[in-house]
C-alpha cells in the first residue's frame, strides 16, 4: 500500500529551487541537508530537490532534470498570476490564457529551468465539449 508519492527534482541549485516553492507556493522545508531538501505545504502536497551530482544517484543519471512540467491546480489562477506579475514577471514563459479544452493557465520557469503550469479548470468551449460528446464522453 502506498504511503506517499511526490516528485524529487534533480537540481544544480537545490536551495534556489526550494526557495522558489516556499516563496511562491507556501511550502515549508521539512527536511534540509546540503544535498537534499524536502518541502510540504499545509494541504499535504510534497516536493523535494536533490543535488543532481549526489552519489546516491546512479552515475549515468547525475544531471539536472529536464523535460518535466509540474502542474499546480489552483482555485483562482488570476490571483496567482497577479502575484507573479508583481514579484517575478520575468519567470512567466507562457502568458495567462484560456484553452478550449477547459483550462485557464500560465507557465513559469523555476531557477533550475523546470516548467510549472499553474492551472484553473474552466468550462470547455462549446466546440471542444461537442467533440467530446461525439466520442461518447460525458462532460456534465
- Which H or E run contains 50? strand 46-51
Residue with cell 456534465: 140
Decide: 81 and 106 in contact? Cβ < 8 Å. yes
Question: What is the rounded average pLDDT for all residues in the chain?
Answer: 90
Q: Which residues contact 87 (CB under 8 A, 6 or more apart)?
A: 24
For 36, the 3-state DSSP assignment is: strand
pTM for this prediction: 0.84
Q: Is residue 133 pLDDT above 70, yes or no?
A: no
Q: Quick one: what percent of the chain has pLDDT higher than 90? A: 77
Rg of the Cα atoms in the chain: 18
Structural domain spans, the chain: 1-53, 68-140
Tell me the mean pLDDT in the region 105-133: 85
CATH code of domain 68-140: 3.30.720.110
Q: Is residue 132 pLDDT above 60, yes or no?
A: no
Please count the CA atoms within 13 angstroms of the CA of 48 that sit on its side-chain side.
17
Encode pLDDT of 35-89 as tens digits. Answer: 999 999 999 999 999 999 999 999 999 999 888 999 999 999 999 999 888 877 6
| CATH code 3.30.360.10 for 1-53 | no
Amino acid at each position: 500500500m502506498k504511503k506517499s508519492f511526490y516528485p524529487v527534482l534533480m537540481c544544480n541549485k537545490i536551495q534556489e529551487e526550494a526557495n522558489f516553492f516556499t516563496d511562491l507556493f507556501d511550502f515549508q522545508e521539512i527536511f534540509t541537508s546540503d544535498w537534499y531538501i524536502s518541502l510540504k505545504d499545509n494541504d499535504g502536497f510534497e516536493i523535494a530537490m536533490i543535488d543532481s551530482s549526489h552519489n546516491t544517484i546512479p552515475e549515468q543519471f547525475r544531471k539536472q532534470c529536464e523535460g518535466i512540467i509540474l502542474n499546480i491546480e489552483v482555485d483562482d489562477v488570476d490571483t496567482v498570476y497577479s502575484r507573479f506579475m508583481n514579484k517575478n514577471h520575468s519567470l512567466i514563459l507562457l502568458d495567462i490564457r484560456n484553452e478550449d479544452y477547459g483550462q485557464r493557465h500560465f507557465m513559469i520557469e523555476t531557477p533550475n529551468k523546470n516548467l510549472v503550469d499553474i492551472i484553473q479548470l474552466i468550462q470547455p468551449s462549446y466546440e471542444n465539449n461537442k467533440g467530446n460528446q461525439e466520442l461518447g464522453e460525458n462532460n456534465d
